[in-house]
A = this chain, B = another copy of it.
């Protein structure tokens, strides 16, 4: 049975807190795709296909042709930043894209000018931007709601979504003020320092029923108060932390080792990167936030409780090193110590010469488009099926996160099939065993 999903008519505004490397790469890319100059590689919504029905049916439409997503031509961009550079300038500084790719969409990029950011330097010590709002947290939240409303009205938009593309904030844990919407709003009014800037954006969005996806490891929407608000206003939320680079590879390889019941005794992961993200993470209190986000994936996939002989002694260590010579070309090196039959040791080394923003941009785009889709499909609160894109998926209380990227993909695809009234795929393949089928009938 197909569900009732509102069509993707009219324009979709995508608002981005943080117009840095990731955001400008996404924008420049989409504008370039609209001109037919490049392809949106890495975007499941744009490039991905989905198998439908039995394998002998050979139905494999593109996802964007299967579910009603906003068209790239209907996107209108906006955002906030602590620096006042327009997107053309910011993309140039980011040094992710080659000159000619930026120049080809110069007019489109120059037209996007950031609104002033809600910022508190205590949450990102290595940034020094001055293009910021003043006032209390409560006042800033109100201003952000005005920003969103103005943006929607002045551009004649049908819908808006927000994707956090700004920095990692310092590490802190949720406390009592984050536990209910009521307490959160009280704290907001009291200008409580424990409310991170990112929460102001999330609060403003959810109040207005605007879906919010969180690309950084910050708590942001991953607190009970926000889940409550999201349910209240019927708004999807997704977080946290774009899954790219090393963690992407980790959530590919670890399930693979687990399929074969191979033991893992150690996993050492180091990263070198030289972009603004690297600079922020050079501060230990910000790195802590990222470390927690990256650290959990192995413990979930290689489950020591379930398989103590295989994963009970796993030693997992992650390092991120600021290394200017590489700029945005983040690079990771992993050493993985595994053991097999009779306990014999083997090693796997992976060196990923990746590009941080190139991997993140399509993830940000997909989260924007799928969040908008979820809203139209009537799905509010935590979007578990979007875990696929996230390093540290938000879960319902008590439920473990699913970090295995293949289970995440099945979840995503079966969710789409389910919503569109198609059969779920189980890969059973009974056609091979006539005896069994006869038994069945």
Contact of A154 with B by CB under 8 A: no
Q: Does A42 contact B (CB under 8 A)?
A: yes
Most buried by B among A26, A260, A379, A409: A260
Is A193 engaged at the interface, CB distance under 8 Å to the other chain? Answer: no
Bound complex: CA A383 to CA B432 (Å): 7
Is A183 in the interface zone, CB < 8 Å from B? no
Q: Write out, one digit per residue, whether chain A residues 411-429 have a CB within 8 A of any chain B CB (1) or not (0).
A: 1001100110000111111
**Per-residue interface assignment for chain A, residues 41 to 84, with 1 indicating a CB less than 8 Å from any chain B CB and 0 otherwise:** 11110111100000110001000000000000000000000000
Question: For A335, A342, A348, A432, which residue has the most chain B Cβ atoms within 10 angstroms?
Answer: A342
Known: A326-B266, A326-B337. A249 touches B256 (CB 8 A): yes
Chain B positions within 8 Å of A171 at CB level: none
Would you call B341 and A309 a contact (CB within 8 A)? no
Counting every copy of the chain, the complex holds 4
Flag whether A148 is at the interface (Cβ < 8 A): no
A41-B340, A349-B350, A352-B348 known; A411 vs B435 contact (CB < 8 Å): no
Question: Is A106 interfacial (CB-CB < 8 Å)?
Answer: no
For A97, list chain B residues within 8 Å (CB): 342, 344
- For chain A, what secondary structure do more than half of its interface residues adopt (helix, strand, loop), or is it mixed? mixed
Chain A interfacial residues counted at CB < 8 A: 113
Known: A347-B353, A348-B353, A436-B3. A39 touches B378 (CB 8 A): no
Note all chain B residues with C-beta closer than 8 A to A339.
41
Which residues of A are interface residues toward B (Cβ below 8 A)? 3-4, 25-26, 28-29, 32-33, 38-44, 46-49, 55-56, 60, 97, 101, 248-249, 252-253, 255-257, 259-263, 265-266, 268, 270, 272, 306-307, 309-310, 315, 317, 319, 321, 323-326, 331, 333, 335, 337, 339-344, 346-355, 358-359, 361-362, 378-385, 388, 396, 399-400, 402, 405-407, 409-411, 414-415, 418-419, 424-433, 435-436, 439
Q: Considering the complex of A and B, which 7 residue pairs feature the smallest CB-CB distances, nearest first? A: A252-B256, A266-B325, A406-B406, A47-B261, A38-B342, A42-B340, A349-B351
